[in-house]
A and B are shown apart, each in its own frame.
Chain A
């Protein structure tokens, strides 16, 4: 069979008959970051979870989501604290910016008194 010319001018070879001729399809990208899914080490998160005396067992998915949630939390609180620093026209986040954010944002109320 003659090679078929595609619109962009590049020639396409006819497909191989057997699976051997075709290049192996990459299924699950192995290089893909399990790292992208969660940067915090699951083992440390698990240690925190186990520190709670009321917790018996925690599934792997639960640990993973907690790790991811902690990352989101860090991003959120950093951004909120930055808003305070920006108002003071500073480019370095200080501890007091964090304290202000904790006071200002209701969701961070659980942190009050825990960081000292």
Chain B
């Protein structure tokens, strides 16, 4: 499927929302302007990717990482993005760490739950055995009485 890179657009609704929040109240945007901004954003990502990739190759790496993208921003003369991006990265890393810990905790809780369920099960079995013994003792008593 031959897709032109420009066809990979970002969702219109999100783009519109970002634009509206950046502009003062009461300002609207024409459809043509909005779709042009959307396309511009896609071109921006492609350009940034290509720049970042150069940095990755310079570092003899095959995987793009965060610092490659930050270096690309500076290269593209978007230094003003670097600080907010670094902050966003910190927040993202914290969130990822939190998610990981949360899923590990869930797993631990799940294990604990299955352990306690097994304990309950074995307790029930013990009770059954006790009841049987009691019945036997009663029978014995009756026999004795008969004798």
In the complex where A56-B62, A74-B22, A115-B40 touch, is A30 in contact with B102 (Cβ < 8 A)? yes
Residues in A neighbouring B19, C-beta threshold 8 A = 74-75, 78, 93
Contact of A69 among B11, B27, B85 (CB under 8 A): B85
Size of interface on A: residues with Cβ below 8 Å to B: 58
Residues in A neighbouring B68, C-beta threshold 8 A = 62
Whole-angstrom distance between the alpha carbons of A7 and B94 in the complex? 36
- Of all chain B residues, which has the CB nearest A81? B33
Residues in A neighbouring B22, C-beta threshold 8 A = 74-76, 78-79
Q: Which of B72-80, B113-121, B128-136 contacts A (4 or more CB under 8 A)?
A: B72-80
- Assess whether A52 is in contact with B102, with CB atoms less than 8 Å apart: no
Residues in B neighbouring A88, C-beta threshold 8 A = none
- Assess whether B69 is in contact with A66, with CB atoms less than 8 Å apart: yes
Enumerate 17 A-B pairs (CB-CB under 8 Å) in ascending A order: A28-B98, A37-B88, A38-B88, A51-B46, A59-B63, A62-B63, A65-B89, A69-B48, A74-B37, A75-B21, A77-B40, A81-B37, A92-B27, A93-B33, A94-B32, A97-B33, A115-B43
Interface residues of B (CB under 8 A from A): 3, 5-6, 8, 10-11, 14-15, 17-19, 21-24, 26-30, 32-33, 36-37, 39-50, 52-53, 62-66, 68-70, 73, 76-78, 81, 84-85, 88-89, 91-95, 98-99, 101-102
